[in-house]
């Protein structure tokens, strides 16, 4: 057995053969070792991290200090803003639901299967994350108006499904979904990566088809991840602005969501209304985060 | 009968080639061998979780080489047990029967019988998170036995258990196996386990499986020196328990 395994330290050479400088060093090494305080390290970490937390709180505090309940009432009394609140809540929820509907299978497949050319898919899925949102909006606009096989996608929607997409509410949802889904996919993929595939394999030996193993063994373990993916997709959709502006426009009472409202109010110089709406968005986001956390805690 | 004929199995960069082994119907074979020899790979190939590139897997006289794991009807208890974290103990015992759309009465009967035999009646409503090692083993065994498999594969099922629990589980395994006439292949490092259970000893060495006389297990002099030629324990005292 080696010394490492037995814990026996290697023998040191006889003292007489060592020079004075070296013996000093040996003595120093032999002295009882003290690691010293951890406080400076933790204080530095806390200070660096705390600075960011402080910035967020200061931003919120500044918004709150700038506004007053009267501004809220004034903002909410406007029918356009009430419309925007409703459209925001509905569109964010639909795009978040669509996102987890797509992200769950995609995350699962990417987590469980290795195949050639997978890097290509990985890269493609990262495009919405790294691309400027405005570019995604522009690309959507072009896609829906490019003549494909003698017709345009927008016209096809009109003829087969009975509604147009561009500059209408479906465009709001699609613009939100295009970006939000990429984040949901990342979350779901990490979720499935963390679920041990062994249980699923045992389920196969017990007589399951893959679908049964997925629905009965894997998916129940993915609850927390599903909730996290929904939250992230919802929050991303709430914050989406560039693609909506380009692809859906900023028409009041038609395609206006809260992020558009902030922009519209700001552009006509009504700062109070813009700040009040911003705070509404903060509260909506916090409410969703809170509800989802609560649900997550109960589920697990 | 479980039969592996000249099978080549790939597990990442690791390849086992021309592996053959036989466990006769109703037999209890112990497979021993050093770490990294491919014992788990062999078991996974038999139960259908790993593809066999060449050669064949025959279970109960039927060539199941190209069959899906689900269709082979083999009970499998993996090394890490892999219990289902979101299910109760009862749901584990019911799982394979529900998948087979068995009737309610049958399911209830089977769960009652199995939980009684395994001594886990008191745990049925529990989730698996806080089970002790021995309890978790029993649940994994019960899950694998519930659908009356024609063969049972056990991958180091009694590792990490204290001696008393291990002895008790050995007895349980033996009695369940005898009662049902289950063809069983059991991987272990432990000679004690092997002595208690085996009626056939298989050893994998240099990636070849050979059958050895059971007498080799009863070699206390060898064991005392920690000198074993087949369990990969020349330097490690852990396995000669």
> Chain A residues with CB-CB distance to B under 8 A?
1, 196, 198-199, 201-209, 212, 216-217, 220-221
Q: For B86, which of A203, A208, A220 is closest by C-beta distance?
A: A220
Nearest CA-CA distance, residue A111 and chain B, Å: 17
| Domain assignment of residue B40, yes or no | yes
CA distance A185 to A176: 14
Domain-wise residue ranges, chain A? 80-299
Q: Would the pLDDT of A13 be above 80?
A: no
Nearest CA-CA distance, residue A228 and chain B, Å: 18
Per-residue model confidence (pLDDT) at position B239: 40
Contacts of A207 in chain B (CB under 8 A): 70-71, 73, 96, 99-100, 147
CA distance A217 to B238: 35
The rounded Cα B232 to chain-centroid distance in angstroms is 19
CA distance A175 to A153: 15
Nearest to B44 by CA among B89, B99, B7: B7
Contacts of A198 in chain B (CB under 8 A): 78, 80, 82
Nearest residue in chain A measured CA to CA from B146: A206
Residues 6 or more apart whose CB falls under 8 angstroms from that of A28 comprise none
**Which CATH number do you get for residue B119?**
3.40.50.300
Per-residue model confidence (pLDDT) at position B161: 80
CA distance B225 to B7: 35
Nearest to A182 by CA among A228, A232, A144, A146: A232
Confidence of residue A104 (pLDDT cuts 50, 70, 90): very high
Exposure on the CB side of residue B215, measured as CA atoms within 13 A? 1
Confidence of residue A292 (pLDDT cuts 50, 70, 90): confident
Burial class (CB in 10 A: 0-12, 13-18, 19+), A198: middle
Taking CB atoms and an 8 Å limit, are A204 and B143 in contact across chains?
Answer: no
CA distance A241 to A239: 6
Per-residue model confidence (pLDDT) at position A221: 94
Residues 6 or more apart whose CB falls under 8 angstroms from that of A123 comprise none
Q: For A221, which of B69, B86, B235 is closest by C-beta distance?
A: B86
Distances (CA, A) of A189 to A28, A81, A193, A291, B137: 52, 37, 6, 23, 30
Q: Would the pLDDT of A204 be above 90?
A: yes
Q: Which fold has domain A80-299?
A: MetI-like fold (1.10.3720)
Contacts of A196 in chain B (CB under 8 A): 80, 82
Number of domains within chain B: 1
Nearest to B162 by CA among B135, B127, B140: B135
Per-residue model confidence (pLDDT) at position A295: 72
Taking CB atoms and an 8 Å limit, are B144 and A212 in contact across chains?
Answer: no
pLDDT tens by residue, A135-169: 999 999 999 999 888 888 888 888 899 888 989 99
CA distance B142 to B120: 9
pLDDT tens by residue, A14-58: 545 555 677 777 776 677 888 899 999 999 999 999 999 999 999
Question: What's the rounded mean pLDDT across residues A209-216?
Answer: 96
- The pairing of strands B52-59 and B2-11 is antiparallel
Per-residue model confidence (pLDDT) at position A297: 64
Taking CB atoms and an 8 Å limit, are B80 and A198 in contact across chains?
Answer: yes
Nearest to A13 by CA among A30, A26, A29: A26
Neighbouring C-beta atoms of residue B147, cutoff 10 Å: 18
SS3 assignment for chain B: CEEEEEEEEEECCEEEEEEEEEECCCCEEEEEECCCCCHHHHHHHHHCCCCEEEEEEEECCEECCCCCHHHCCEEEECCCCCCCCCCEHHHHHHHHHHHCCCCHHHHHHHHHHHHHHHCCHHHCCCECCCCCHHHHHHHHHHHHHCCCCCEEEEECCCCCCCHHHHHHHHHHHHHHHHHHCCEEEEECCCHHHHHHHCCEEEEEECCEEEEECHHHHCCHHHHHCCCCCCCCCCCCCCCCC
Taking CB atoms and an 8 Å limit, are B70 and A207 in contact across chains?
Answer: yes
Range of the domain at B114: 2-224
Nearest CA-CA distance, residue B172 and chain A, Å: 21
| Domain assignment of residue B128, yes or no | yes
pLDDT tens by residue, A241-267: 999 999 999 999 999 999 999 999 999
Taking CB atoms and an 8 Å limit, are B95 and A206 in contact across chains?
Answer: yes
Per-residue model confidence (pLDDT) at position B238: 39
Contacts of A204 in chain B (CB under 8 A): 48-49, 68-70
CA distance B198 to A129: 58
Tokens 């595939």 — which residue?
A197
Per-residue model confidence (pLDDT) at position A264: 93
Contacts of B94 in chain A (CB under 8 A): none
- Is the pTM for the entire model greater than 0.95? no
Contacts of A212 in chain B (CB under 8 A): 99
Taking CB atoms and an 8 Å limit, are A221 and B75 in contact across chains?
Answer: no
Contacts of B75 in chain A (CB under 8 A): 205
Q: Would the pLDDT of A1 be above 70?
A: no
Write the ipTM. 0.88
pLDDT tens by residue, A216-229: 999 999 988 999 89
Phi and psi of B57, rounded to 5°? -115, 125
B61: left (phi over 0), alpha (psi -120 to 50) or beta: left
pLDDT tens for each residue of chain B, 241 residues long: 899 999 999 888 888 889 999 999 999 999 998 888 889 999 999 999 999 999 999 999 999 999 999 999 999 999 999 999 999 999 999 999 999 999 999 999 999 999 998 889 999 999 999 899 889 999 999 999 999 999 999 999 888 788 888 888 888 888 888 888 899 999 998 888 898 899 999 999 888 888 988 888 875 544 444 444 454 444 443 343 3
């Amino acid at each position: 057995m080696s010394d490492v395994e037995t814990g026996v330290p290697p023998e040191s050479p006889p003292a007489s053969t060592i020079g004075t400088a070296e013996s000093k060093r040996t003595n120093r090494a032999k002295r009882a070792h003290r690691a010293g305080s951890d406080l400076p390290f933790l204080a530095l970490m806390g200070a660096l991290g705390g600075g960011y937390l402080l910035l967020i709180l200061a931003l919120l505090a500044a918004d709150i200090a700038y506004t007053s309940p009267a501004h809220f009432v004034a903002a909410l009394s406007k029918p356009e803003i009430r419309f925007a609140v409703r459209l925001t809540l509905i569109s964010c929820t639909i795009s978040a639901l669509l996102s987890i509907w797509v992200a769950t299978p995609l995350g699962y497949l990417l987590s469980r299967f290795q195949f050639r050319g997978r890097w290509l898919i990985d890269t493609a899925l990262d495009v919405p994350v790294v691309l400027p949102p405005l570019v995604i909006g522009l690309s959507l606009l072009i896609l829906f108006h490019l003549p494909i096989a003698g017709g345009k996608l927008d016209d096809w929607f009109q003829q087969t499904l009975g509604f147009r997409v561009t500059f209408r509410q479906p465009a709001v949802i699609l613009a939100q979904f295009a970006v939000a889904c990429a984040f949901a996919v990342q979350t779901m993929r990490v979720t499935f990566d963390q679920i041990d595939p062994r249980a699923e394999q045992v389920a196969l030996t017990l007589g399951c088809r893959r679908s049964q193993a997925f629905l009965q063994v894997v998916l129940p373990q993915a609850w927390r991840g599903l909730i996290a993916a929904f939250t992230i997709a919802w929050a991303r959709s709430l914050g989406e602005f560039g693609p909506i502006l380009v692809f859906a426009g900023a028409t009041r009472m038609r395609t206006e969501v809260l992020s558009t409202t902030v922009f519209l109010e700001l552009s006509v110089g009504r700062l109070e209304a813009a700040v009040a709406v911003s705070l509404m968005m903060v509260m909506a986001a916090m409410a969703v985060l809170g509800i989802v956390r609560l649900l997550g805690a109960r589920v697990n | 009968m479980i039969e592996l004929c000249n099978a080549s199995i790939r597990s990442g960069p690791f390849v086992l080639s021309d592996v053959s082994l036989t466990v006769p119907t109703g037999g209890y074979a112990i497979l021993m061998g050093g770490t990294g020899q491919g014992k788990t790979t062999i078991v996974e190939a038999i139960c259908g979780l790993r593809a066999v590139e060449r050669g064949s897997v025959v279970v109960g006289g039927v060539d199941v080489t190209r069959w899906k794991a689900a269709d082979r009807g083999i009970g499998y208890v993996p090394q890490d047990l892999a219990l289902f974290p979101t299910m109760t103990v009862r749901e584990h015992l019911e799982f394979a029967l529900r998948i087979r759309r068995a009737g309610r009465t049958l399911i209830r009967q089977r769960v009652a019988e199995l939980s009684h035999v395994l001594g886990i009646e008191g745990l049925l409503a529990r989730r698996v998170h806080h089970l002790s090692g021995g309890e978790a083993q029993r649940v994994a065994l019960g899950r694998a036995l519930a659908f009356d498999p024609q063969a049972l594969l056990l991958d180091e099922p009694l590792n990490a258990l204290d001696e008393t629990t291990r002895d008790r589980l050995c007895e349980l395994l033996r009695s369940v196996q005898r009662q049902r006439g289950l063809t069983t292949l059991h991987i272990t490092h432990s000679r004690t386990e092997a002595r208690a259970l085996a009626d056939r000893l298989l050893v994998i060495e240099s990636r070849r499986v050979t059958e050895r006389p059971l007498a080799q297990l009863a070699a206390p002099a060898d064991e005392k020196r920690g000198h074993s030629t087949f369990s990969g324990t020349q330097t490690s005292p852990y396995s000669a328990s």
